[in-house]
C-alpha cells in the first residue's frame, strides 16, 4: 500500500532522550527521497516501557503523577503543532492538516497494546485515524540506510557497504535508542524492498540506562539527601549536568573523564554536609565490585571511605535493574536480603558472629536497610547507603585476620572522582562501569540471536539510533563480533526519523514481517476422548463439546506479507438483544497451544462486530471475520455474510470502553 496520495508526510519520533519531527513533500520524495527537513529537541527521560495501558500513570522528577495518555498526547500535540506552524510558514498555507500523513515511530519490541496506546494518544492529540501510520523504528532506519550514499556511512570500505544493501544480502539492524534496544535481521528483496527474517528482540538497555547508572553513582558519592535537594531545587542545572554527560558517554573517553559541574551542586553538598566538596572527594578511597544479592542480578558495590568521617564506613549500592522490579522485595523480611548481602560482603562466619555478639548493631543495620528500601520505592532514589558498624569491622578482622578495607584493595588517594574548581575528574574505570548493564546485555542478545537463528550469509551489523554514536558500544560490538562488518550511518540518531518519512511515502518498502506471537480466539470444539481434558467437556443440545479451545490464526515465527488476511472465520449472533458479536483474542508464546488458559497464553483484547440491521432474524445475523497481519499494527476485518457489506469491527486492546 502506498500513501503517495498525501501531499506531505510528517514523522514524529517521540523518544526517551530526544524528540524530533521531520517532513517531506510528495514531490520531494519522487525527485529526491533523502530531501527531508528535520528539527530536534533534547528532553528529559520518559518511560520507555512497552507495558503501556489506558490506566498507566507516569511520575515526573518531583514524584507528581499524571496519566500516561495525557503526557503522550500533549507531547504529540506540541510536536504536531510546531511542525504545522513551520509547514504553514514555509509553504504559505497551501498545505492543510488533512493533506498530511502523520507517522509515529515506535520500538519494534513494543506489543500490540502499546502500539494501540500510541495510536490513541495521537487521536487525543487531534490527529485523525485515517491520517495516521505507525512505523517500527529499526525498519524505518533500515529503509533509510538502504537508500543512503555509501560516503555517508562508515565502518567499512565503500564496496563492502554497497554490497550490504544489494538484493539478496542480509544484515542485522541494531537500533540503539535512548530507552530501548531493537535487534532484528533484514534481507533485501529483488525489488529492493526489505523483509524481516526473524522477530525483533531487545530490551530497555538504551542510553538512559547509562544515565541512571551515572545518577546512582552521584547519589552514592554525594549522598541521597544532597542529590535529591539538588535535583528538586536546581532543575536547570540538573538537566545541564546530564546534558554534558550525554556528550561524554558518546565520545572518545580519556582518563580521567572531565566534566564541568554546576556550582549549585557544590553549594548543596557543602550546605548539607558542612564539608568542602573538593576536600571530601580528595579524601575518598575507592573499592571494587561484589556480585550477587537480589536473585541472580549482578550489582556493582562500591566501598567509599572518608577521612572526614573516620567512624563510618559508607557502602553504596548501585543496582543494575529498574526500581519496579524490586518493589516486591518490601513484602519480604528485610533480614533475608540484608543477610544475603552481608554474607557476600563479609562471609557467613563473620556475619553469624556479628548477629550473636552485637544484636543491637545488627538491628540498627537491618532498620537502616529497610528504611532506605522504602525510600527508594517512594522517591525512586536508587542508591542505598549503609553505615557499617565498627563492631562488624572488628569482628571481620578477628575472623579473617584482615582489615575490612583490604577486601576492596583500597589504596590511598585512589578516589572515584576529584574536583578542581568547577571540573569533576571521573576515573575512566568508573565511567566504563556505568555501561556494565547496557553493553553486556546488548552483546548477549546479539550472540543469542546469531547462535539460535539459522540464517546464513549474514555478514554485517548496521548500527542506528542515537546510542549507536557511543564509541564504547561501537568498540564492544566490533570486538565481540570480529567477523561482522559494523556499519554506522552519519547522523545515526536521525536515521529512524528520516526513514519513517520515507516509509510514510511508501509503506510497501517493508514487504514481509515475522509474527512475534501466536494469535487466536476461544472456541467450542468437538470433544475427542484421549485428546481433550475431561474438565473442559460440556454438553450442549446432546453434543459433547470442549470449551476453551485455542483456535489459532497465525503462529509465532510465521512469515506474513503486507496486508495479509489470515484464516477467515464465520460468526453468528447468539441473542436477539445483542448489539454486537463479541469475542476475546488471545496470544501465546507457544506455536500450538491447546487451550486459551494454557500457561503460555494471555488475553490480548476483545473484538466487537456491530449488528447493523436489527430487523434481520438472529439466524441470519452472520459475519465473516479475519485478522489482517503483516502491517505494523494488528487489524481486523468483518463483512456481513448476507449482503457482503463491510462493517467496522473494533479491536480493543486497552479496555477503555
pLDDT at 17: 65
What pLDDT does 96 receive? 80
What is the rounded distance in angstroms from the CA atom of residue 135 to the CA atom of residue 431? 35
**pLDDT: is 316 or 520 the higher one?**
520
Residue 614 lies in a domain: yes
Kind plus residue range of the DSSP H or E element containing 209: helix 207-222
Q: Which of 465, 484, 513 is the last residue of a domain?
A: 513
Statement to judge: residues 213 and 307 lie in one domain: no
**What pLDDT is attached to residue 610?**
86
pLDDT band at 587 (very low <50, low <70, confident <90, very high): very high
pLDDT at 424 over 90: no
Q: What is the pLDDT of residue 61?
A: 64
Asked if 214 and 170 sit in the same domain, the reply is no
**Judgement on whether residues 348 and 422 belong to the same structural domain of the protein:** no
Say what the pLDDT of residue 215 is.
85
Residue 304, pLDDT score: 41
Q: What is the pLDDT of residue 151?
A: 85
Give per-residue pLDDT as tens, 33-54.
999 999 876 554 444 445 667 6
User: Which pLDDT score is estimated for 410?
Assistant: 42
Establish if 447 belongs to a structural domain: yes
pLDDT at 288: 39
pLDDT tops 90 at residue 402: no
Residue 38 lies in a domain: yes
Domain boundary among 513, 536, 566: 513
pLDDT band at 409, cuts 50/70/90? very low
**Better-predicted residue by pLDDT, 370 or 492:** 492
Residue 341: count of CB within 10 angstroms of its CB:
22
Least confident of 192-201, 217-226, 503-512, 624-633: 217-226
Residue 588, classified by CB atoms within 10 Å of its CB into exposed (0-12), middle (13-18) or buried (19+), is: buried
| Res 413: pLDDT | 43
Could you tell me which residues are beta bridge partners of residue 602? Answer: 587
- Grid cell at residue 175: 537500533
The predicted pLDDT at position 618 comes to 80
What is the per-residue pLDDT for 324? 36
Percent over 90 (pLDDT), the chain: 32
Record the cell numbers describing residue 541, joined without a space. 443440545
Domain extent at residue 260: 208-282+416-433
> 558 in a domain, yes or no?
yes
Residue 462 in contact with residue 171, Cβ under 8 Å?
A: yes
**Residue 209 pLDDT > 70:** yes
pTM higher than 0.75:
yes
pLDDT band at 261 (very low <50, low <70, confident <90, very high): confident
**Mean pLDDT, the chain, as a whole number?**
80
Cell of 485: 562488518
Alpha-carbon 99 to chain mean position: 32
For the chain, the domain total comes to 4
Distance CA(554)–CA(559), nearest Å, equals: 9
Q: With bands split at pLDDT 50, 70 and 90, how would you rate the model's confidence at 126?
A: very high
- At residue 553, does pLDDT exceed 80? yes
Same domain, 245 and 387: no
User: Mind listing the pLDDT tens digit for each residue in 140-191?
Assistant: 999 999 999 888 888 888 888 888 889 999 999 999 988 889 999 999 998 8
Last residue of a domain, one of 375, 400, 433: 433
Instruction: Let me know whether 214 and 273 are in one domain.
Output: yes
% of the chain at pLDDT higher than 70: 82
Residue 110 lies in a domain: yes
32 located within any domain: yes
The verdict on residue 3 lying in a domain is no
List all residues 6 or more positions away from 562 whose beta carbon is below 8 Å from its beta carbon: 1, 507, 508, 510, 511, 512, 630, 631
Q: Is residue 624 part of a domain?
A: yes
More confident residue, 356 or 4: 356
**344 shares a domain with 426:** no
Strands (E), 490-554: 510-514, 518-526, 537-540, 543-554
244 and 196 in one domain? Answer: no
Model pLDDT for residues 324-340, shown as the tens digit of each residue: 333 434 445 666 667 76
Question: Would you state the pLDDT for residue 101?
Answer: 96
pLDDT score, position 301: 40
User: What backbone torsions phi and psi does residue 361 show, to the nearest 5 degrees?
Assistant: -65, -40
Do residues 168 and 118 both lie within one domain? Answer: yes
Is the confidence at residue 411, as pLDDT, over 50? no
Verify that 336 and 462 share a domain, yes or no: no
Instruction: Give me the count of residues in the chain.
Output: 657
* Residue-wise pLDDT tens digits, 435-473: 888 898 899 889 988 888 888 888 899 999 989 999 999
Q: What's the CA gap between 491 and 478, in Å, rounded?
A: 19
Residue-wise pLDDT for 55-105, tens only, equals 778 776 667 788 888 889 998 999 999 999 888 888 877 888 788 999 999
Backbone angles phi, psi at 32, to 5 degrees: -155, 90
Are 17 and 114 part of one and the same domain?
yes
pLDDT, tens digit (0-9, with 9 covering 90-100), for 482-517: 999 999 998 888 999 999 999 999 999 999 999 999
Same domain, 330 and 379: yes
Residue 303: per-residue pLDDT: 41
pLDDT of residue 383 exceeding 90, the answer is no
pLDDT single digits (tens) 267-323: 888 888 888 888 877 766 544 333 322 222 333 344 444 333 322 333 333 333 333
Do 221 and 161 share a structural domain? Answer: no
**Does the CA dihedral 137-139-145-147 come out positive or negative?**
negative
Amino acid at each position: 500500500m502506498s500513501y503517495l496520495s498525501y501531499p506531505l508526510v510528517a514523522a514524529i519520533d517521540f523518544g526517551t532522550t530526544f524528540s524530533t519531527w521531520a517532513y517531506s513533500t510528495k514531490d520531494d520524495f519522487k525527485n529526491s527521497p533523502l530531501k527531508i527537513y528535520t528539527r530536534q529537541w533534547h528532553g528529559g527521560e520518559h518511560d520507555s516501557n512497552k507495558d503501556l495501558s489506558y490506566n498507566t500513570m507516569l511520575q515526573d522528577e518531583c514524584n507528581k503523577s499524571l496519566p500516561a495518555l495525557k503526557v503522550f498526547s500533549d507531547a504529540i500535540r506540541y510536536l504536531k503543532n510546531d511542525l504545522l506552524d513551520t509547514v504553514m510558514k514555509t509553504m504559505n498555507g497551501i498545505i492543510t492538516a488533512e493533506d498530511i500523513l502523520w507517522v509515529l515511530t515506535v520500538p519494534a519490541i513494543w506489543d500490540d497494546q502499546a502500539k494501540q496506546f500510541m495510536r490513541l494518544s495521537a487521536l487525543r492529540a487531534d490527529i485523525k485515524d485515517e491520517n495516521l501510520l505507525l512505523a517500527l523504528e529499526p525498519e524505518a532506519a533500515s529503509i533509510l540506510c538502504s537508500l543512503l550514499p555509501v560516503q555517508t556511512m562508515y565502518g567499512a570500505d565503500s564496496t563492502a557497504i554497497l554490497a550490504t544493501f544489494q538484493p539478496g544480502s542480509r544484515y542485522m539492524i541494531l537500533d540503539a535508542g535512548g530507552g530501548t534496544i531493537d535487534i532484528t535481521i533484514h534481507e533485501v528483496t529483488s525489488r529492493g524492498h526489505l523483509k524481516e527474517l526473524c522477530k525483533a528482540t531487545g530490551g530497555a538497555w538504551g542510553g538512559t540506562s547509562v544515565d541512571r547508572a551515572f545518577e546512582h553513582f552521584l547519589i552514592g558519592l554525594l549522598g541521597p539527601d544532597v542529590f535529591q535537594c539538588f535535583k528538586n531545587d536546581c532543575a536547570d542545572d540538573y538537566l545541564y549536568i546530564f546534558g554534558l554527560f550525554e556528550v561524554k558517554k558518546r565520545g572518545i573517553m580519556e582518563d580521567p573523564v572531565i566534566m564541568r559541574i554546576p556550582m549549585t551542586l557544590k553549594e548543596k553538598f557543602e550546605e548539607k554536609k558542612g564539608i568542602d566538596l573538593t576536600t571530601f572527594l580528595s579524601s575518598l578511597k575507592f573499592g571494587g565490585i561484589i556480585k550477587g544479592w537480589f536473585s541472580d542480578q549482578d550489582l556493582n558495590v562500591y566501598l567509599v571511605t572518608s577521612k572526614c568521617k573516620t567512624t563510618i564506613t559508607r557502602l553504596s549500592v548501585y543496582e543494575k535493574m529498574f526500581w519496579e522490579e524490586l518493589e516486591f522485595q518490601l513484602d519480604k523480611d528485610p533480614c533475608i536480603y540484608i543477610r544475603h548481602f552481608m554474607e557476600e560482603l563479609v562471609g557467613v562466619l563473620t556475619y553469624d558472629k556479628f548477629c550473636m555478639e552485637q544484636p543491637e548493631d545488627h538491628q540498627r543495620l537491618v532498620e537502616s536497610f529497610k528504611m532506605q528500601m522504602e525510600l527508594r520505592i517512594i522517591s525512586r532514589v536508587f542508591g542505598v547507603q549503609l553505615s557499617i558498624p565498627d563492631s562488624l569491622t572488628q569482628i571481620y578482622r578477628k575472623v579473617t585476620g584482615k582489615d575490612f578495607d583490604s577486601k576492596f584493595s583500597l589504596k590511598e588517594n585512589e578516589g572515584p572522582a576529584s574536583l578542581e574548581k568547577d571540573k569533576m575528574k571521573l576515573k575512566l574505570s568508573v565511567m566504563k562501569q556505568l555501561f556494565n548493564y547496557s553493553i553486556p546485555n546488548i552483546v548477549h542478545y546479539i550472540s543469542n540471536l546469531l547462535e539460535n537463528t539459522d540464517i546464513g550469509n549474514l555478514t554485517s551489523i548496521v548500527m542506528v539510533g542515537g546510542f549507536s554514536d557511543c564509541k564504547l558500544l561501537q568498540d564492544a560490538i566490533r570486538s565481540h563480533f570480529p567477523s561482522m562488518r559494523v556499519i554506522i550511518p552519519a547522523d545515526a540518531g536521525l536515521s529512524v526519523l528520516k526513514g519513517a518519512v520515507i516509509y510514510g511515502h511508501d509503506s510497501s518498502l517493508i514487504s514481509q514481517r515475522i509474527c512475534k506471537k501466536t494469535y487466536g480466539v476461544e472456541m467450542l470444539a468437538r470433544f475427542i476422548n484421549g485428546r481433550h481434558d475431561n474438565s473442559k467437556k460440556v454438553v450442549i443440545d446432546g453434543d459433547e463439546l470442549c470449551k476453551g479451545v485455542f483456535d489459532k490464526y497465525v503462529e509465532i515465527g510465521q512469515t506474513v506479507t503486507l496486508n495479509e488476511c489470515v484464516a477467515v472465520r464465520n460468526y453468528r449472533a447468539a441473542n436477539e438483544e445483542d448489539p454486537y458479536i463479541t469475542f476475546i483474542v488471545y496470544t501465546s508464546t507457544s506455536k500450538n497451544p491447546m487451550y486459551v488458559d494454557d500457561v503460555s497464553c494471555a488475553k490480548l483484547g476483545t473484538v466487537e462486530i456491530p449488528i447493523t440491521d436489527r430487523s434481520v432474524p438472529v439466524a441470519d445475523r452472520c459475519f465473516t471475520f479475519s485478522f489482517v497481519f503483516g502491517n505494523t499494527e494488528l487489524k481486523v476485518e468483518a463483512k456481513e455474510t448476507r449482503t457482503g457489506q463491510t462493517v467496522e469491527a473494533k479491536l480493543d486492546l486497552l479496555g477503555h470502553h
